[in-house]
Chain A
Amino acid sequence: MAAPPRTTPAQELLDLLGPVEGFHSREEYGDFGLPARVTQEDYLAPFARASRDSHLGPLEKVHAFWFAGMSCDGCTVSVTGATAPSVESLLLATHPGLPQVVLHHPVVNLESGPNYMEAAERALKGELDAPYVIILEGSSTDETLAVPHGGYWSAQGEEPWGEGGEMRTVTIDEWIARLAPGAAAALAIGTCATWGGVPAARGNPTGAMALMDFLGKDYRSTFGLPVVNIPGCAPQGDNFTETVAAILYFLQGFGPLPEFDELGRPAWLFGETVHRTCTRGAYYEEGAFADEFGDPECLVEIGCWGPVVNCNITSRGAIRHVGGCMNTGGACIGCTMPGFPDKFTPFYKRPPGSTMSTLASRTVGALVTPLRRYTTEHLNRTPRWDRQDFVPSGWSREREEPGFIADLGHRFYDALRRSNDTSKSDAVEWGRGPNTIGDD
C-alpha cells in the first residue's frame, strides 16, 4: 500500500501564496453591491431569530459558507428542491429544534461583490458571532498550475493579497484552504466535491480532485470531524439537508450520533445498493429484463449498474418522493460512486459482471415465475367464484376455469397455508349467537 503524501494540495497552495496580510477597508467600496443597505444576514435576522425560551438546544445560529469549485451548480439546484427539511425552513429557522442557518451562497444572497465577501473575511479573522461550516460543491483543482501565470481556474472575489497589497482574484481553493481549519465541519456535496466526479474524469486538464484529496487524510474540523461526503450527480436534495439536520439534532442534544461510513458518507443513506429498493428489482429476481428502451422490466441489460451502486434514489425519489432514475426507466450509471464516470463507461452497455448473475436469475425465474403466475390466478378469484366455478366478469376473459389438477394444487396450497392457522381451534365462538349466517 502506498503511503499517503506528506503534504496536502491545500498546504502546497498556501505555501505558494503566502500568508494573508490584511483585508480591504469598507471605505474603498462603500455600499457597492449592497442595494438593500444591509446584507442578507441582517435582513433576515428579524424573521429568523428565535425567542430565548423556544430553543430546543444550545445552538442558536450557524453560519454556512457555500463555495462552488469546478461545479455546475446542480447541487445547489437539488438543495433548493429539498423539503426534509427545506432550505427556506433552515434559513428562516422554522424547523423546531434547528438553529438558524445563516447561508452565504452566491446564488442566493441579496448582496454582491466585496460586500458579499465580507462575511468570509470575518470568518478568517475569527470575528463571526457563531460557529461556521464550509460546504464545497464542485471539485477542488490544482491551482498551482495556474497561479504562477497570474491566473486561476475557479475564483470568487478579490482581496488585497497580491504583492504589496495589490488586489488579486482569490480562488475557491484558497478560500477553502484558509477557512477549513477553523470550520466546525467541512461538507462536500455532490460527486465532484466528494470524489472528483466529471471534472476529474479522463482528460481532466485542471487537476480536479475531491475535497478529501485537497485537505488530506488528517484533516479534522474544530468539532473533530473529517470531511463529510454527500455524493450524487446531482445528489438527492433531502440527502444533504437531512445530513445537516442530523448533525444539528445531535449537537442540540436530542438526536442520535449520526453514523458515517468509512468514506464519510451518511451510513443510513448510502448503506444499501440502489437495486435493493428499486421498484424494478423484482424483475431481476425473476430474470425479466428490458430489451428495448422504455420497457418496464429490470434495466440491467440496457446498462444499469444498480446492483453494485450505493444510492437511495429509488426509495427516496428525486424530489418529494417523485421520480428516481430506475423507477422511470433510467439505467443507473453510478453517479454517486467514486468510480464515476470512468468506471461505468461506455454507457447503455450491460455491466460485464451481470452476465453471470442474470443467467442465475433467469434460471430461477424460469421456475419461479410460472409458479407465481399460477398462485396469482388463484388469488384473483373470490372463494365464491371458486365454489361456483365461474367468474362473473363482463370483461372478455380468455382464461379457462382451473381444471381438476390445477384445482387440486390450489386446495393443497390452501391446506398448507392454513396448516397452523389457530382459528381452527375448538374454542366456542359464543359471541356469534345462535343464528349466524357464516361460511364453513
Chain B
Amino acid sequence: MCFKNLPVEFDSGGVATLRGGIPDPYSVTVSKPEVGVTDADREEKIQRLMASNGHIKDLNMDPVTRVAGALAVHVTADLDTGSYLDAHSQATLFRGYEVILMGRDPRDAIFVSSRACGVCGGVHSHAAAYAIEMAMGLAPPPLGTVVRNMGEAVEMGYDNPLHLYLLAGPDYSEAVVSSVNPGLWRKAQTWRCVGTGIHGFVHMSDLMAALNPLAGELYREGLEFTRVSREAFSLLHGKYPHPQTIVPGGVSSTITVQVLNEFHSRLSQCFDYARRMIAVWDDLCEFFYEADDRYQMVGYRPNDFIDPGFWDDPYAYDADYATCNDWGERRFSTPGVIIDGELVTTRLTDINIGWEEFVDHSYYEDWAGDRYQTDELGNPISPYHPWNKQTIPAPSGKNWREKYTWACTPRWDRTSVEAGAYVRLMTTAMAQKQPENEFMQPTGHSLRMTIPKGMGPEMEVEWHVPEKWNAFERNRGRAYHYLFAALVALESLLEAYRLLKAGETRVAAVPAEELEDHIPRDERRGVGWWGAGRGWLTHHLVMDEGKIVNYQICTPSTINASPRDPWDQPGPFEEAVMNTPIIEAVEDPSKFTSIDMLRAIRSFDPCMPCTTHVHTPQGTVTREVNTCSCGVD
C-alpha cells in the first residue's frame, strides 16, 4: 500500500482500485495531504515581523546564474534571525514545444522533442523513443538497448562534472569562500584534507583554490572531462547535444570493433577521474560539516524522492506497459519512490498512477476533462495525470499569491518529491533489485562500487544513504553518481562486445522503410520513463489515427522548480531555501550576498530549458488581469 493521500487501494494481486463511496475522489478539496504551514500563516508571520524588525529584505534574484536556462528566485530574508521566511521559484521562459509536437507524425517526436533541452542533450530523444515504442509495440533488439545504455551512461559523464565544477563548484571556491566566509577560509588554510593521497591537495584552501572559476585546475579539468565523455557519446550518436541515431525501435549507429574500442578508450579515462571527484566532494562535505554544523541545514529537505529508473536490461525490456513492473525492476538503476526515508514502491505502474500536475500558480489556465479514468491495465489515474493534461498558456503579471512561473507543479500522491541523479543511488541501494553485475552491489542502506584499476589501484568505494538530505549531500551524491554511470557504461560496453562476439549486430527492430507500416491507426498511449542528468524524465503521449494528439514532457527540474501546489506545499527549491539558515556574516545588510540560498538552489543542478515546455491545444494567449504584486513591498 503505497498511497496515503490518494484514495487508491490495492487488491491481493496488486491491482489498484479507487476506494468506493467517495464522490469526486480526485478533487483537490477531497483528497488532501497534511500540510504544516499555509501561505496565509507564512504571510501573517512576515507581516508581524515586518512591524518589529527592520532587517527583512524582499529580493528577487533574477537571473540565478550558473544554472542551465532561465531561473529567478524571490526571497524574503530575515537578516536578524538569519532565515529565509519565504521563497518563490520562477521559470522565466516558455517555448511551447509540445504544441509543436502535437498533430505530427510519431516519427517526428524523437528529433523534435530532443530540442527541449540541449544541456540534457540526449535524454529527451531517448524518452520519446520509449514512449513511441510503447504506443507502436516495437521493442529494440538487445544491441539497440545496449548502445542506448552506453550513450546515456556517458552522457552523465559530461553532465555531472559540468555541474560540480562549472556551475556549483565556484560557490565553494577560494574566490567566494574567502570573501563571504572569511572565518571558514582561515580554517581551510590549516585544515588537512583526508583524500590528499588521491586528489593531491594538502589543505582545504588548496582544493578551494583549484575550484576557482576558469583559473582553477579542477574547473578546467572538469570542462575537459565533459569533452571526453561527449566524444564517447558522439562516437555512437554522431553529435551532442541532439543525437542523430535514435530511432523508434532502437538506434541507427553502426557498431564495429573500432567504435567500441574508441568508446572504451575514452571511458577508461573516467575511472581515475571518478576516484578524484569522489575524494574532492567527500572532503568538501567533511570540511563544511566540521566547520559549522548549520551547513547540514543548507538546502535541507525531508527524504522524499522519486525516480523512474534508468538504463534497461536488454533482455527484459519489451516496450510493453503490461510488463513494465518486471522490466522496470531489472533496470541498472531501480525505479522507486521514497517517502520519509522509506522506499514505498519500485513498481512503474505505481509511480505512474500516483502522478499529477497542477497549474494553480503557473502561467497557464486550468483545464477541464478527464479523457481517461484508468491506465491500460485498469489502474485508476487522476484527471491531473499527464495522459489527461491540457495546458493553456496565459502569460500574465507576477503575483506570489496567484501565478508567478512558467513551471507547473508535479506531485506524487499529492506529496512534494525531489528528483535528482542521486535518487538513483538511493532507490538502487535500498531496493537491492539491481541485476547482478561485476562492479556494483546495493546493500539496503548503501551502494558499494568497485573502481577498476587505472593509474590508481582497483578500489572499492561505498556511498551511504545520508540521514540528513542537504545541498552538500546532493553534490556528493552527484560525484558518486558519476562513478555509478561510468560503471553502467562499462557493463554495457562489455555486453556490446559479447553481442558482437555472438554475431548479434542488429540495432533496430525494423528497417526504416517498414516504420510507416508499424504506425497504429487506433488510439494508443505510451510513456517513456527515462532519466536525465538531474533525475526523473517522462514523456507521455497519446496517438490517434496515426498522429500525435497529446504530448506531455515532465522533467526533473519541473519537479524541483515547481511553485506551490493547491495545498500551499512549496516546491523542492522553495522548501530547501526556506529551510536554509543564513550563515554568511551580514552585520551590514548591504553586504548580504545570499550565498547560502544560492548554494541550496544550485545543489539541485537546476535545468530550466526543459522545465517549461508544456503544450497548448490552440496556442491561444488568454487575457488575465492581475495587478496586485504582494509579498513584502
The answer to whether residues A33 and B61 also contact, given A345-B105, A347-B107 and a CB cut-off of 8 A, is yes
Which of B227-251 touch A at CB < 8 Å? 227, 230-231, 233-245, 247-248, 250-251
A114–B119 alpha-carbon span in the complex (Å): 25
A107–B171 alpha-carbon span in the complex (Å): 14
The answer to whether residues A35 and B171 also contact, given A47-B215, A201-B100, A233-B115 and a CB cut-off of 8 A, is yes
Nearest CB of chain B from residue A200's CB, rounded to whole Å: 9
Nearest CB of chain B from residue A379's CB, rounded to whole Å: 22
- Of the 9-residue stretches A204-212, A245-253, A256-264, A401-409, which lies at the interface with chain B? A204-212
Pick the residue among A324, A325, A349 that contacts B516 (CB under 8 A).
A349
Query: Cβ of B101: which chain A residues have Cβ within 8 Å of it?
Result: 203
The reply on A36 being an interface residue by CB < 8 A is yes
Query: Cβ of B452: which chain A residues have Cβ within 8 Å of it?
Result: none
Query: Cβ of A92: which chain B residues have Cβ within 8 Å of it?
Result: 214-215
Query: Cβ of B61: which chain A residues have Cβ within 8 Å of it?
Result: 32-33, 112-113
- Assess whether B100 is in contact with A156, with CB atoms less than 8 Å apart: no
Nearest CB of chain B from residue A171's CB, rounded to whole Å: 9
Closest to A46 in B: B215
The answer to whether residues A328 and B108 also contact, given A74-B242, A76-B118, A319-B230 and a CB cut-off of 8 A, is no
A74–B175 alpha-carbon span in the complex (Å): 28
- Assess whether B240 is in contact with A318, with CB atoms less than 8 Å apart: yes
Which of B272-310 touch A at CB < 8 Å? none
The reply on B505 being an interface residue by CB < 8 A is yes
A80–B219 alpha-carbon span in the complex (Å): 13
Pick the residue among A91, A169, A346 that contacts B214 (CB under 8 A).
A91
Interface size class of B (residues with CB under 8 A): 35 or more
- Assess whether B92 is in contact with A155, with CB atoms less than 8 Å apart: yes
Closest to A299 in B: B252
- Assess whether A204 is in contact with B100, with CB atoms less than 8 Å apart: yes
Closest to B624 in A: A149
Pick the residue among B59, B95, B175 that contacts A199 (CB under 8 A).
B95
Nearest CB of chain B from residue A275's CB, rounded to whole Å: 15
Query: Cβ of A160: which chain B residues have Cβ within 8 Å of it?
Result: none
Query: Cβ of A421: which chain B residues have Cβ within 8 Å of it?
Result: none
Query: Cβ of A206: which chain B residues have Cβ within 8 Å of it?
Result: 94-96
Closest to A83 in B: B227
Per-residue CB proximity of A42-57 to B under 8 Å, as 1/0?
A: 0110010000000000
Query: Cβ of B110: which chain A residues have Cβ within 8 Å of it?
Result: 347
- Of the 9-residue stretches A287-295, A370-378, A383-391, which lies at the interface with chain B? A287-295
A11–B125 alpha-carbon span in the complex (Å): 37
Nearest CB of chain B from residue A188's CB, rounded to whole Å: 16
Query: Cβ of A157: which chain B residues have Cβ within 8 Å of it?
Result: 62-63
Which of B115-167 touch A at CB < 8 Å? 115-119, 121, 162, 166-167
Q: Output the residue of A81, A167, A206, A318 with the most chain B CB within 10 A.
A: A318
Query: Cβ of A43: which chain B residues have Cβ within 8 Å of it?
Result: 175, 213
Pick the residue among B175, B254, B396 that contacts A151 (CB under 8 A).
B396
- Assess whether B508 is in contact with A294, with CB atoms less than 8 Å apart: yes
A234–B245 alpha-carbon span in the complex (Å): 15
The reply on B194 being an interface residue by CB < 8 A is no
The answer to whether residues A333 and B103 also contact, given A318-B239, A328-B237 and a CB cut-off of 8 A, is no
A350–B511 alpha-carbon span in the complex (Å): 12
The answer to whether residues A203 and B93 also contact, given A43-B175, A112-B61, A348-B247 and a CB cut-off of 8 A, is no
The reply on B598 being an interface residue by CB < 8 A is yes
Nearest CB of chain B from residue A167's CB, rounded to whole Å: 8
The answer to whether residues A108 and B242 also contact, given A294-B253, A323-B237 and a CB cut-off of 8 A, is no
Which of A114-167 touch B at CB < 8 Å? 114, 116-117, 138, 145-146, 149-158, 167
Pick the residue among B259, B397, B594 that contacts A33 (CB under 8 A).
B594
- Assess whether A335 is in contact with B242, with CB atoms less than 8 Å apart: yes
Query: Cβ of B3: which chain A residues have Cβ within 8 Å of it?
Result: none
A88–B512 alpha-carbon span in the complex (Å): 42
Query: Cβ of B66: which chain A residues have Cβ within 8 Å of it?
Result: 106-110, 112
Which of B45-90 touch A at CB < 8 Å? 59-70
Closest to A167 in B: B60
Query: Cβ of B166: which chain A residues have Cβ within 8 Å of it?
Result: 80, 107-108
- Of the 9-residue stretches A23-31, A179-187, A356-364, A425-433, which lies at the interface with chain B? A23-31
Query: Cβ of B108: which chain A residues have Cβ within 8 Å of it?
Result: 341, 345-347
The reply on B18 being an interface residue by CB < 8 A is no
- Assess whether B63 is in contact with A113, with CB atoms less than 8 Å apart: yes
Per-residue CB proximity of B15-30 to A under 8 Å, as 1/0?
A: 0000000000000000
The reply on B339 being an interface residue by CB < 8 A is no
Pick the residue among B94, B105, B508, B594 that contacts A346 (CB under 8 A).
B105
A107–B69 alpha-carbon span in the complex (Å): 7
- Assess whether A153 is in contact with B94, with CB atoms less than 8 Å apart: yes
A63–B177 alpha-carbon span in the complex (Å): 27
The reply on B621 being an interface residue by CB < 8 A is yes
A149–B365 alpha-carbon span in the complex (Å): 14
- Assess whether B238 is in contact with A149, with CB atoms less than 8 Å apart: no
Query: Cβ of A91: which chain B residues have Cβ within 8 Å of it?
Result: 214
Which of B483-514 touch A at CB < 8 Å? 505-508, 511-513
Nearest CB of chain B from residue A192's CB, rounded to whole Å: 8
Query: Cβ of A33: which chain B residues have Cβ within 8 Å of it?
Result: 61, 65, 593-594, 598
Nearest CB of chain B from residue A269's CB, rounded to whole Å: 15
The reply on B371 being an interface residue by CB < 8 A is no
A110–B216 alpha-carbon span in the complex (Å): 13
The answer to whether residues A328 and B247 also contact, given A35-B180, A77-B119, A92-B214 and a CB cut-off of 8 A, is no
- Assess whether B214 is in contact with A328, with CB atoms less than 8 Å apart: no
Query: Cβ of B621: which chain A residues have Cβ within 8 Å of it?
Result: 145-146, 149, 205
- Assess whether B244 is in contact with A345, with CB atoms less than 8 Å apart: no
- Assess whether B254 is in contact with A112, with CB atoms less than 8 Å apart: no
- Of the 9-residue stretches B199-207, B353-361, B572-580, B584-592, which lies at the interface with chain A? B584-592
A70–B584 alpha-carbon span in the complex (Å): 36
Query: Cβ of A295: which chain B residues have Cβ within 8 Å of it?
Result: 254
The reply on A381 being an interface residue by CB < 8 A is no
A344–B18 alpha-carbon span in the complex (Å): 46
Closest to B109 in A: A347
- Assess whether B516 is in contact with A153, with CB atoms less than 8 Å apart: no
- Assess whether B237 is in contact with A234, with CB atoms less than 8 Å apart: no
- Assess whether A234 is in contact with B241, with CB atoms less than 8 Å apart: yes
Pick the residue among A80, A117, A325 that contacts B239 (CB under 8 A).
A325
The reply on A68 being an interface residue by CB < 8 A is yes
- Assess whether B512 is in contact with A329, with CB atoms less than 8 Å apart: no
Nearest CB of chain B from residue A322's CB, rounded to whole Å: 4
- Assess whether B592 is in contact with A151, with CB atoms less than 8 Å apart: no
The reply on A111 being an interface residue by CB < 8 A is yes
The reply on B111 being an interface residue by CB < 8 A is yes
The answer to whether residues A203 and B102 also contact, given A73-B118, A323-B231 and a CB cut-off of 8 A, is yes
- Assess whether A208 is in contact with B594, with CB atoms less than 8 Å apart: no
The reply on B430 being an interface residue by CB < 8 A is no
Per-residue CB proximity of A306-336 to B under 8 Å, as 1/0?
A: 0000000100011110111111111111010
The reply on A176 being an interface residue by CB < 8 A is no
Pick the residue among B236, B247, B590 that contacts A293 (CB under 8 A).
B247
- Assess whether B237 is in contact with A330, with CB atoms less than 8 Å apart: yes
Pick the residue among A72, A203, A204, A313 that contacts B103 (CB under 8 A).
A203
The reply on A9 being an interface residue by CB < 8 A is no
A361–B626 alpha-carbon span in the complex (Å): 64
Mark A residues whose CB is within 8 Å of B: 27, 29-38, 40, 43-44, 47, 68, 70-78, 80-81, 83, 88, 91-92, 106-114, 116-117, 138, 145-146, 149-158, 167, 169, 197-199, 201-206, 208, 233-234, 236, 291-296, 299, 301-303, 313, 317-320, 322-333, 335, 341, 345-350
The 8 closest A-B pairs by CB, nearest first: A74-B118, A151-B395, A330-B244, A323-B234, A150-B397, A30-B590, A205-B619, A318-B239
Q: Could you pull out 27 A-B pairs where Cβ atoms are within 8 angstroms?
A: A30-B589, A31-B591, A35-B176, A35-B180, A36-B176, A71-B93, A71-B609, A78-B241, A88-B214, A88-B223, A107-B66, A107-B67, A111-B65, A113-B59, A113-B62, A149-B396, A152-B395, A198-B115, A205-B96, A234-B242, A292-B511, A295-B254, A301-B512, A322-B262, A329-B252, A345-B108, A347-B108
